[in-house]
């Protein structure tokens, strides 16, 4: 659909391919879609790969938003960084399969496009760096539903893009944010001369109730709880009847503070020893239950 209308979308977009490979992984593309990931990447390079002249930079290679048949080509640096991550993933995948020649090829591709991203970096007066969104300003991204890339500022420079900068960090760290086995990265950045550690949040939390992952050890004998089928009048017992039964709702009748926990546990003064005893027959009573630090005798 385009603009909410049921129109077939024939516009080629680089990120439909990059997100597919990053989300499924090379093996997933092969197993789930029946597509050879090497062929898919070769076709992607043929359609979206470009080399352009960038003002103040010179010749630079990367990947366009789309097939640039309707305008002059430009390098989309966010998409180029996504492709760099893919080349890294392909290198690791082929290495795991023992295809070392292909692994080395994709390793070189990763290094090359990482170098092109580095070439496009803008260095600010305070030492900070940034990467533009694209190599050219004011150009239309897509022939249908596209937008114009930001123009150059009064200083003649392209504004930096947080999208391009983020994906460049992913490429440098060889980190696939969509990968199943990926863990969050910790990135050190310098702000006003002060090193700051950006700590990624924990990705795990909560309780996993999957019984296949639970290691439960059962001990003792269970308690059998039978509900009679008839009540005292001979009427059948149903869940609806039980909902109104007295005692089925927990009721707090009284709250009494515990001021002497040892007494509640059935211990008396004879169980407390002021003097140390044989350590083999002694244990330290939990501090929360003690009024004074005492030792409690274990009866043998």
Q: What is the pLDDT of residue 181?
A: 57
The order of strands in the sheet holding 272-273 is: 272-273, 295-297, 282-284
Q: Which of 217, 300, 291 is nearest to 259 (CA)?
A: 291
Q: What is the pLDDT of residue 253?
A: 75
Contact 288, 260 (CB under 8 A): no
Q: What is the rounded distance in angstroms from the CA atom of residue 134 to the CA atom of residue 152? A: 11
Q: What is the rounded distance in angstroms from the CA atom of residue 152 to the CA atom of residue 218? A: 69
Q: What is the pLDDT of residue 53?
A: 95
Q: What is the rounded distance in angstroms from the CA atom of residue 201 to the CA atom of residue 186? A: 9
Q: Where are the domains of the chain?
A: 14-188, 265-300
Q: How far is CA 117 from CA 79, 95, 241, 285, in A?
A: 11, 25, 72, 64
Query: From first to last of its 300 residues, what are the pLDDT tens digits of the chain?
Result: 445 555 566 789 999 999 999 999 999 999 999 999 999 999 999 999 999 999 889 999 999 999 999 999 999 999 999 999 999 999 999 999 999 999 999 999 999 999 999 999 988 888 888 999 999 998 989 988 788 888 887 777 888 899 999 999 999 999 999 886 555 555 554 544 555 555 555 555 566 556 565 566 666 666 665 656 666 676 776 666 666 666 556 667 777 776 665 655 665 555 554 555 444 444 444 444 444 444 444 443
Confirm whether pTM is higher than 0.85.
no
């Amino acid at each position: 659909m385009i603009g909410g209308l049921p129109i077939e979308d024939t516009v080629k977009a680089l990120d439909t391919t990059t997100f597919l490979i990053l989300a499924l992984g090379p093996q997933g593309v092969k197993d789930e879609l029946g597509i050879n990931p090497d062929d898919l990447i070769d076709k992607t390079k043929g359609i979206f790969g470009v080399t352009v002249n960038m003002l103040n930079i010179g010749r630079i290679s990367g990947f366009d938003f789309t097939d640039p048949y309707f305008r002059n080509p430009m390098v989309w640096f966010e998409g180029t960084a996504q492709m760099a991550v893919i080349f890294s993933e392909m290198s690791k995948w082929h290495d795991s399969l023992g295809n070392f020649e292909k692994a080395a090829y994709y390793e070189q591709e990763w290094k090359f496009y990482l170098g092109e991203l580095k070439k496009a970096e803008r260095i600010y007066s305070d030492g900070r760096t940034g990467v533009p969104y694209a190599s050219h300003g004011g150009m239309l991204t897509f022939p249908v539903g596209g937008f114009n890339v930001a123009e150059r500022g009064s200083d003649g420079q392209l504004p930096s893009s947080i999208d391009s900068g983020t994906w460049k960090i992913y490429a440098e760290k060889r980190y696939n944010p969509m990968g199943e086995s990926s863990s969050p990265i910790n990135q050190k950045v310098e702000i006003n001369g002060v090193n700051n550690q950006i700590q990624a949040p924990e990705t795990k939390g909560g309780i996993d109730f999957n019984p296949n992952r639970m290691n439960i050890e059962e001990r003792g004998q269970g308690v059998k709880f039978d509900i009679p089928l008839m009540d005292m009048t001979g009427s059948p017992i149903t869940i609806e009847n039980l909902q109104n039964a007295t005692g089925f709702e927990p009721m707090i009748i009284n709250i009494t503070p515990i001021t002497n926990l040892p007494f509640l546990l059935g211990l008396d003064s004879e169980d407390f020893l002021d003097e140390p005893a044989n350590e083999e027959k002694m244990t330290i009573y939990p501090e929360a239950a003690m009024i004074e630090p005492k030792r409690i005798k274990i009866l043998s």
